[in-house]
Chains A and B, each alone.
Chain A
C-alpha cells in the first residue's frame, strides 16, 4: 500500500500546506549568513577555556556503521545512554535502561523483559526482533533468538560504559535479528576502574546484590578487568491471579524468587583483546503460564538461563588509512527448566517435566575498511557462525518419557559491504548490502541506503531505507514432538523500513530530533493449529501475515551543565495488520517519556526523575485491552561525599500506579500486574 497514492483530497491539501510552511521557513533561514562547518566550530571553540573543553561531550556510536562515528553522521536514528545516566536514574537492568529511550518500551511477564521498538513488541516473540550485542558480539542465542535484556542479561549494568540504541533495520551489517533495531552495549575497560570497586544494594522484595570488580591499566599498556556479581531476590510473597482462583484462592505464594550470578573479565594489550562474560540466572515462575496442566502455586516451576561468551579480537589502524578487525569467539546458551504438570485433571498425580535445550556455537568475523582522501570510506566484512550443537530435549522424569531429544548442527555465513561517501561537502551517501547464507533456509540479501545532509552545522537531515530479516530459530524450524510439527520450509520474516530524520541543535542547551518512519513487515512467523490436517497433526509455525507501522518520534534534549540535563520525548506509532487493519497487540499508540537530572548539592548530589507514559494496549489473544498509565521513578545519587564513595537511593513507581503488561497467548492471564512502589539503596566504594 503506498500511503502517498491516497485519493483523499485531504492528502493533497496537507502536503501543499506542509510544503508552504517548509518553504516559508527556508526563506526565513536563507537570510542568515551561512558559514562552512569547520569555521563555525572554530568560532564556538574560541570562546572556550580549558575547563570548558573538558566538559564537552563527544557523542560517538559504533553500532550504526561498525566503526566509531559521530551520532550525527550515523545512517540511523541513534540514542546513547551513558554510565552517568545509569547511575543518576538508578537503572537496575538493561531493560530499565532501554525503557527510558524514546521509541522503545519494555514489558515484563514475571519471567523476562521484552523490548519493543516503534510499536512492535509481539507477545510470545522471545525478543528476536531486536539484536543485542556486547561490544559488537551478538548475544541473541540460536534456540529462541532471545535478546536477554532483563536480569538474564549476563553483565552487571555497573560495568556498562554506554548503550547504543540504533533504531531501524541493521541486518546490512549485523545479519539476523537486527530487525527493529540494534542495541550495542559497550563495557568499561580496566583503565576506567584503576583499582577495585565493591558494591552492594538492598531493595524491595528482599532483594540483595553484591559486586566486586577490579580493573587496572598497567605501565606497559596491558589493561585488565574482572568482576563478579551475585543477586538474590525473594520476590513477591503473594501474587494474585484470578484466572487460577480454584487453586489456593488464586494466590501464588513465595514463587517469584530469583537468584543470579554474572562474571566478566577482559584483558587487552595493543590491538588485541580477550573478553568473556558468563551469567547464570534462576527464576521461579508464579504465573503458571502454559496451564491448566501446569500446576499453579508450585515452587518447582522454575528454570535457569545460562549464557556464556568468550571472544578474542584484534583491531588495528594501519598506514594508508586502512582499518582491520578480526574476531573469533565461542558461545554457549542453555535453559534448564522444570515444570510440574497435572496431566489428568481427575487425578492428583503430578509429573515433573524437564525442558533442557542448549546450544554451543563459535563465531568468526573479519572486517577491513579503507578511507580514501576523507571523502570515501569502504567497509567490508565476512562473518561466519558454526552451531556446533543445538540440542532440544524435553522429557518427563517419572514415569520417564522423552518428547524430543535431538541435536542439529548448522552453520551460516554472511558477507557485508558498506560505503560512506561524501558526495558533496555537506552530503554523505551511505549504502550497504549484506548477503547471508543459512544452511537451514537458504539466502537472504539485505540492503540499506541513506542520504545524510549537513546543510548548516547545527542541522542534520537523514533519508534512510533499509531492509532486515529475522531467521526462523531452532524452536520454530525444527521442534518435532507429539503435537508439534517442524517446518523446514520456513522463510525468515522481513521488514522494509523508510525513515526521514531531522536533528537540529537549537540555542546552546537544546537539541531537537524528529523521525518519521514507515515499516512494513512480511512473512511473519506465526504458530497455527493444524491438528486436523493429517499431514501435520499438530501446531506448526508458518509464514503468514503482514503488518505495517507508521509513526513519528520526537525528542527534545537539554544539556544546561554537565549535571543538569533533561530529555522529553513523544512517539506516535500506528501499527496494524495490513489485511484486517486491526491494531497489533501490545502496541501503544502513544508513548511519552521525561528524564530530568538536577543537581541538588553542588556536584555531589543529583536527583534523577523519570516519567513514562503509555496509551492503552491490546492483549495477545482476545479483544481486551489494558489502560494507559503514567509511572514515575526517582533516584538520589551522590558521588564523592566521602572520597571514593557512591551512594544512591531510588524509588520506582513512586505513585504506586497499578498497571499491566500484555503477555504471550499461551498464558491463561491476558495481562500481568506490574510492580507497585519499590525501593533500592545502593553503595559503591572505590579503592
Chain B
C-alpha cells in the first residue's frame, strides 16, 4: 500500500496536522425535525412502505426456500418415474415418499401432496426414523446429515428411487443428486443405477438433468 513513509520536515506542503475530518459546514440541526431532509425522507419512506404494503392485499407468492424447491422436485420425480408392477399393486395403492433427515422438506412435501390435484394415485409422505423403514417406500430422500451408504445398501435392488443432496450421493450408488449451482437447485442422474433397480424415469426428467450418467462410471457433463 502506498502510504506516506517520510515526513519532509521543513518542506512546504500540506501539513500532516490536517486532521482527516477537516471540513466546513453549518452546525447540525435536530435530527428528526420535518425541517431536515432526513425527516422528510423518513416520512416519505414510511408513506411509500405503508402504501405498497396496504395495496398488496393478499400476500404475493411465497419466497422460495431450498427445501421448498427440493420438495417440489421430489413430487415431480415421483410423478415422472415408473415402478415395476409388483411394487405398485392396484391403481389406488398409495405411492410412499420417505424423507430421511430433513423435516423441512417433509413438511412442505406434505403440504404439496395435500393440495396437488391430478396426481395418478394417492401419495403418502413419511418421515423416516430408521434406515429399515426405507424399504417400504417408493422414493426415499436422504438429507445431508444422514448416512447415504446405509440407506442405499438397505434398498439396493428393491425398486426404490433414491434421491440425495450430499455431494457424493451418486458416487455412493444413489440415483438422483441435488446440487446448488449459482443459486439454482439442479440435479444429476445416474441412469444405470435406476435401470438396475427395475425403475424407469421419463425422458423429460433426463433432458432437464444437469448431468446424466449412462455407463458405469462418473456422470458425464452435458
Q: With A22-B46, A219-B218, A528-B17 in contact, is A44–B183 under 8 Å at CB?
A: no
Q: CB distance B37 to A574 under 8 Å?
A: yes
7 A-B pairs with CB atoms under 8 Å apart are: A43-B62, A45-B62, A55-B184, A481-B5, A482-B7, A539-B7, A583-B25
A295 to B208, CA, bound (A): 63
The answer, yes or no, to whether B144 is at the interface (CB within 8 Å) is yes
Shortest beta-carbon distance, A217 to chain B, in Å? 8
Q: With A574-B38, A621-B14 in contact, is A355–B5 under 8 Å at CB?
A: yes
Shortest beta-carbon distance, A657 to chain B, in Å? 25
Q: With A29-B56, A219-B171, A620-B18 in contact, is A14–B62 under 8 Å at CB?
A: no
Q: With A25-B53, A457-B62 in contact, is A42–B115 under 8 Å at CB?
A: yes
B interface residues, how many (CB within 8 angstroms): 93
Q: CB distance A38 to B108 under 8 Å?
A: yes
> Which chain A residues border B69 with CB–CB below 8 Å?
45, 53, 56, 58
Given contacts A35-B59, A403-B6, 12 further A-B contacts (CB under 8 A): A8-B33, A29-B56, A42-B108, A45-B112, A50-B208, A58-B65, A58-B66, A483-B9, A524-B21, A550-B31, A582-B21, A583-B25
A623 to B68, CA, bound (A): 56
> Which chain A residues border B13 with CB–CB below 8 Å?
291-293, 668
> Which chain A residues border B221 with CB–CB below 8 Å?
194-195
Q: With A3-B32, A285-B2 in contact, is A28–B20 under 8 Å at CB?
A: no
> Which chain A residues border B48 with CB–CB below 8 Å?
554
> Which chain A residues border B5 with CB–CB below 8 Å?
337, 339, 353, 355, 394, 403, 481
The answer, yes or no, to whether A576 is at the interface (CB within 8 Å) is yes
Q: CB distance A14 to B17 under 8 Å?
A: no
A111 to B1, CA, bound (A): 9
Q: CB distance B35 to A10 under 8 Å?
A: yes
A8-48 to B contact mask, C-beta < 8 Å, 1/0: 10110111011001101100110011110111111111101
The answer, yes or no, to whether B181 is at the interface (CB within 8 Å) is yes
Q: CB distance A14 to B22 under 8 Å?
A: no
> Which chain A residues border B186 with CB–CB below 8 Å?
54
The answer, yes or no, to whether B120 is at the interface (CB within 8 Å) is no
Q: CB distance B208 to A337 under 8 Å?
A: no
Shortest beta-carbon distance, B42 to chain A, in Å? 6
List A152-174 residues whose CB lies under 8 Å from chain B.
161-162
B164-198 to A contact mask, C-beta < 8 Å, 1/0: 00011001000000001111111000000000000
Closest B residue to A287 by beta carbon equals: B2
Q: CB distance A24 to B107 under 8 Å?
A: no
The answer, yes or no, to whether B15 is at the interface (CB within 8 Å) is yes
List residues of B whose CB falls within 8 A of some A CB. 1-9, 11-28, 30-39, 41-43, 45-54, 56-66, 68-69, 71-73, 76, 103-104, 107-108, 111-112, 115-116, 144-145, 167-168, 171, 180-186, 204-205, 208, 217-218, 221
Q: CB distance A289 to B32 under 8 Å?
A: no
A-B pairs, 5 with minimum CB distance: A529-B17, A581-B28, A483-B7, A42-B111, A623-B24
Q: CB distance B22 to A505 under 8 Å?
A: no
A653-687 to B contact mask, C-beta < 8 Å, 1/0: 00000000000011110000000000000000000
A374 to B115, CA, bound (A): 25
Closest B residue to A589 by beta carbon equals: B37
> Which chain A residues border B14 with CB–CB below 8 Å?
621, 665-668
Shortest beta-carbon distance, A121 to chain B, in Å? 12
Shortest beta-carbon distance, B213 to chain A, in Å? 10
Shortest beta-carbon distance, B61 to chain A, in Å? 4
Q: CB distance A33 to B42 under 8 Å?
A: no
> Which chain A residues border B18 with CB–CB below 8 Å?
620-621, 665
Q: CB distance B19 to A44 under 8 Å?
A: no
A338-349 to B contact mask, C-beta < 8 Å, 1/0: 010101010000
Q: CB distance A13 to B183 under 8 Å?
A: no
> Which chain A residues border B76 with CB–CB below 8 Å?
49-50, 53
Q: Which of B22, B34, B38, B205 makes the CB contact (< 8 A) with A620?
A: B22
Q: CB distance B208 to A29 under 8 Å?
A: no
Q: Which of A24, A33, A53, A122 makes the CB contact (< 8 A) with B58?
A: A33
A84 to B181, CA, bound (A): 12
Shortest beta-carbon distance, B38 to chain A, in Å? 5
A96 to B104, CA, bound (A): 38
